[in-house]
Amino acid sequence: MKTPDELMFLKNKNALQHESEASMKGKTCVVTGATSGVGLEAVRALAKGGASIVMVVRNLAKGEEVKKELVERFGGSVDIVVADFSRLEDVRNAAKQILASTNKIDVLINCAGLHSTKATYTPEGFETVFCVNHLASFLFTELLLERLKESAPSRILQINSEGHRFNGLDIDDLDWKKRHYTGLRGYGASKTAQLLTVWEIDDRLKNTGVTINAMHPGDVKTRIGSNNGFLYRLFSKLVIQPSLRSPVISGKAIYYLVADPSLREVSGKFFHLTIEETPAKHALDRTMGKRIYEESLRLTGLVK
């Protein structure tokens, strides 16, 4: 009996994954959220493969620690850009700094992410999870697109989540002022919005030599959710974390998706680690996708 698309993630998480030994020497990779979890394993894998790294980090001290490790272990070039992705002005400044200092971008990986059990709001008035997980990565990608096109062939990878299946996206209530907020629904909404805009961006990248894909990085141990209260952290430590795997698998999967020659022209896809998968139906709604793309442009100030 064939496994329904909606349940393939249960099969894919235990499947044998692809790996790549392709070299990344001469490639420049921009990675957000690079100091812990999935992002940290991504920069380790990329540095091992010979890439030059631009890490976008919230905490400079942690960024310096990671840079020291990467240079000592693998050599190569590692630069740090500081930005808090709950502040879109920081995102704009980070993109401006990278464009001023980096002649080419071969790979952009958006790893920065957040989970919150309660609705909180950024200084600019956005629901924080929606801002960090979607608006910030959307704005950052859009601001770097021209440099990615100039550097083609190049690749964009959005670190998404099977959490997009939690649904919750309501384009008329993106700030959760009309509905009851829960952590799963808020997280699902942000990841659904990100996926929907991946398809829209992919359409606009046709014949540019730039690809964009999204992936679930596996059920792995990260610090996401550590910003929450004591009860959530205790639940995570005792119930969630013991069943999770090492994020090393995420780094290997990310490396495959951005480095392997077999994926050079693959775009507009969602992967569970390295296996292509069909997202939830609500994340394939192209009518909603066009609406959230236009709204994201407006909310980030890219159009008025």
* pLDDT for residue 24 is more than 90: yes
Query: Helices marked H in the chain — which ranges?
Result: 8-12, 37-48, 60-74, 88-101, 128-130, 136-150, 183-204, 230-235, 248-259, 286-299
Over the chain, what is the mean pLDDT?
90
Question: What is the pTM (predicted TM-score) of this model?
Answer: 0.90
Residue 241's pLDDT is what? Answer: 46
Please tell me the distance from the alpha carbon of residue 274 to that of residue 165, in angstroms, as a whole number.
18
pLDDT in tens, 137-166: 999 999 999 999 999 999 999 999 999 998
Q: Show the tokens assigned to 251.
A: 């780094």
Nearest of 268, 271, 243 to residue 255 by alpha carbon: 271
Catalytic option among 121, 181, 187, 256:
187
For a pLDDT cut of 90, what percent of the chain falls above it?
80
At residue 136, the 3 state secondary structure works out as helix
Residue 174's pLDDT is what? Answer: 96
Which CATH number does the domain 23-299 belong to among 3.40.50.170, 3.40.50.300, 3.40.1190.20, 3.40.50.720? 3.40.50.720
| Residue 187 falls in the annotated catalytic set | yes
Average pLDDT over residues 259-276: 97
What confidence tier does 226 reach under pLDDT thresholds 50, 70, 90? very low
Average pLDDT over residues 199-212: 98
Residue 247's pLDDT is what? Answer: 72
Please tell me the distance from the alpha carbon of residue 26 to that of residue 29, in angstroms, as a whole number.
10
114, 128 Cβ separation under 8 angstroms: yes
